[in-house]
Amino acid sequence: MNGNGKLKIGMYWASSCGGCDISLLEIGDKILDLIQIADVAFWPCAADFKYQTVAGYPDGYMDICFFNGGVRNSEQEEVARLLRKKSKLLVAYGTCASDGGIPALANMNSVAEIFDAAYHSNPSIDNPNGIEPRPHVETAVGTLEIPTFYPAVLNLGQIVHADFAIPGCPPQAEDVWEAIGALVSGATPQHNGDRRIGCTSRSVCDECVREKKMTRIAAFRRHHMFRPEPGWCLLEQGAMCLGPATRGGCGALCPQAGMRCEGCYGPAPGATDQGSAMIGAIGGMLEATTEKRAQEMVDEIVDPPGTFYRFSMATGNLKVAQKH
Amino acid sequence: MDENEATFHSGGNGATPWQPRIIGFLCYWCSYTGADNAGTARMKYAPNVDVVKVMCSGRIDPDLIGKAFANGADGVLVLGCHIGDCHYISGNHKTMVRMPLVRRVLEGMGIEPERFRHEWVSAAEGEKFSRLVTEMTEQVRALGPLNWRERLHACGVGHGMDLAPWGEERP
C-alpha cells in the first residue's frame, strides 16, 4: 500500500484474446467495491498507462498484478519480468498464463509454418511481395524495432515466478471475486499446495450433474454427429469429454449444456500432463476387447494432441513439437 | 548439471560415442520374467534399455512415457502380458487402448514412431525380449539422439529467452 493507503492493482495482457480482461469485469458491480479499496496502477485494456510509467514505480509497488496470456514474443517477456519486479503478488490469470491455453497449440507447428500460414498460404491473404515482419527494419527515419517472435508459446511460470494461478478460459467471475477477496485481505488463498486458486481441488466430473452409468464407450462421436442424451455422462456416450482430466471450478458448465468439456481449467489436481491423464482415464472405458478393435477406435479420434492438450500444451510433458 | 542429470543425459560429448538411451517399462508377471528368462538363458542383447519394473502394464501412466522423452530418453519400450494372460485379468486391456493413443499423441508432436514401441512378451519369451531390445536399439540408433530437453531449453522453457534477440533468421 502506498500514498493514499489503497491497494495498487495491475492487469496485463500478453498472448491472449482479451477475454480475461472482460472476465474481470464480469464480477459486475463488485468492481465498484474493488475500486473502493484499490487503485488501478496498470491495465492496458482499460486505462492508458505506459510501460515507462510502470518502470518508474519502485520495486514491489503493485500489491497484486494479474497477468493474462502466454508469452510468445520478446515484448511480453520483457513486461513479464518488469511486472514481476514491480509486483508483490504476480498472479497468472486465465489458462493462457497458467498453462499456455489456445495460443500454445501453435507449439505443434514450427515458426516457419506459422509465418507461412499467417503471411503467405492462407487463402485470404493478399501479400504479393511476400513481406514478413522482421524484428529490425531500416527506414529513412532510422531503425524500427518490433518484438521478436519466439519459437514457442510459454506459460508465465516458465519466465518468472508466478505466486498464484487462476485457471479458466475465462476464469469464472465468482471464483475470481473469491480469489481477489482472499488476496486483498492478505490471507493466503486456499490453493491445496499447487498454487492454483479460484478453482476446486477436484475434477470437472466431480461437479457434473450427468450420471455415470458405468457403461463402456462403443464409438467416439464428435458433437455434430449426435444429440447427447440428457442426464447421462457425455464420455460414456462417446463424446471426447475431458472432464476426468480437467480441474473443476467452472461448475461443469459445458457438460450441463450438452457440450463436452474441452479442458479449459487445465490439468486435474494430481496430474501435470492433462493429455496423459485423459489417455489414462479412457484406457479402461472402451468397449474394445481385441487389439484390432482398440486400434480402430483410437484411429477414429480426430487430432489427439490438439484435443487432449487443447488448453495445456505449455505445461504438458513435451510442450513443443519436433518440427524443422 | 547435477549427477543425476549427467548420468541420464544420452547425448554424446565427443569423448564417448553416443549410445541410444531407451527406457523399458516391463510388467512384473510376464515381461520382466521374460527378460529374466533371457538372462538365465544367457542370450545376448543390446545393453541400451533401462528396465523399469511395474506390477502391471495397465499401471503405466502415459505421463511416465512423456516424462521419459522430455527428460532425455531416445526411445521408450512398453512390454506387458499377452491379451488374456494378465495377472490382474484386464490390466493389459487398458494398455492396449492407451498405448496406441500415446503413439498418436507422440506422432502429433513429431516424435518418430520408431522411438516408441509397445509389445506383448510372456514369461517364456526370453528370445522375443532379446530380439525386441536389439531391434529397438538399432532403430533408435538409426534415428540418432532425440535431445528433447535441449529442444525445450532452446525454446526458453524454464528460463524464458532472457530477452536475447532471437534474430532475423528463423529456424
* CA–CA dist A26, A30 (Å, integer): 9
Which residue on chain A is closest to B112 by alpha carbon? A322
Q: CB under 8 Å to A242, separation ≥6 — which residues?
A: A204, A260, A261, A262, A263, A274, A278, A307, A308, A310
Domain ranges of chain B: 18-146
pLDDT for A122: 93
- Using a CB–CB cutoff of 8 Å, tell me whether A135 touches chain B: yes
**Contacts B146 to A, Cβ<8 Å:** 322
**Cell numbers for A47:** 486505462
Between CA A153 and CA A96 the distance in angstroms is 9
| Phi-psi label, residue A106: left if phi above 0, alpha if psi -120 to 50, beta otherwise | alpha
CA–CA dist A297, A279 (Å, integer): 13
User: In terms of DSSP H, where are the helices of B41-80?
Assistant: 62-70
Q: Model ipTM? A: 0.91
Helices B91-108, A274-283: crossing angle, 10 deg rounding: 150
Q: pTM of the prediction?
A: 0.90
Pick B161's closest partner by Cβ from A77, A276, A316. A77
Q: What is the pLDDT at residue B169?
A: 37
Q: Which of B110, B165, B170 sits opposite A115 (nearest CB)?
A: B170
8 A C-beta contact, residue A250 and residue A172: yes
Q: What ranges do the domains of chain A cover?
A: 7-102+151-185, 109-150, 200-324
Cα separation, A276 vs A297, whole angstroms: 18
At position A322, the amino acid (one-letter code) is Q
Are A81 and B160 within 8 A, CB to CB?
yes
Bond from prior residue into A170 cis (ω within 30 degrees of 0): yes
The pLDDT of residue A3 is 66
pLDDT at A192 (0 to 100): 67
Strand runs (DSSP E) across chain B, as ranges? 22-27, 49-54, 75-80, 116-120
pLDDT for the residue numbered A186: 75
- Mapping DSSP to helix (H, G, I), strand (E, B) and coil, where does residue B162 land? coil
- pLDDT beneath 50: ranges in chain B: 1-8, 164-171
Describe the strand order of the beta sheet including B116-120 as a list of residue ranges. Answer: B49-54, B22-27, B75-80, B116-120
* Cβ–Cβ below 8 Å for A112 and B63: no
Q: How far is residue A108 CA from its own chain's centroid?
A: 16
B3 and B31 Cβ atoms separated by less than 8 Å: no
**Which residues of chain A, if any, have pLDDT below 50?**
324
1.10.10.410, 3.30.1540.10, 3.40.50.700, 3.20.20.140: CATH of A7-102+151-185: 3.40.50.700
Residue A234 Cα, gap to closest chain B Cα (Å): 19
Check A286 against B66: CB less than 8 A apart: no
Mutate to test the interface with B, among A137, A291, A308 (most CBs of B within 10 A): A291
Residues of chain A numbered 75-104 and touching chain B (CB < 8 Å): 77-78, 80-81
DSSP category for residue A232? B
pLDDT in the model for residue B49: 96
- H/E element, B95: helix B91-108
What tens digit of pLDDT does each residue of B20-68 get?
999 999 999 999 999 999 999 999 999 999 999 999 999 999 999 999 9
Residue A291 touches partner B, C-beta closer than 8 Å? yes
Distance between B42 CA and the closest CA of chain A, angstroms: 32
Q: What is the CATH number of domain B18-146?
A: 3.40.50
Q: Which amino acid is at A301?
A: I
CA dihedral B42→B44→B49→B55, nearest 10 degrees, is -30
Q: What is the pLDDT of residue B126?
A: 95
Q: How far apart are the CA of B15 and the nearest CA of chain A, in angstroms?
A: 27
Cβ–Cβ < 8 Å for B132, B77: yes
Q: Torsion angle of alpha carbons A212, A218, A223, A224, nearest 10°? A: -150
CA B131 to chain A, closest CA, distance in angstroms equals: 22
Distance between B9 CA and the closest CA of chain A, angstroms: 17
A134 touching B, CB under 8 A?
Answer: yes
Nearest CA in chain B to A136: B168
Q: Could B160 and A306 be called an inter-chain contact, meaning their C-beta atoms sit closer than 8 Å?
A: no
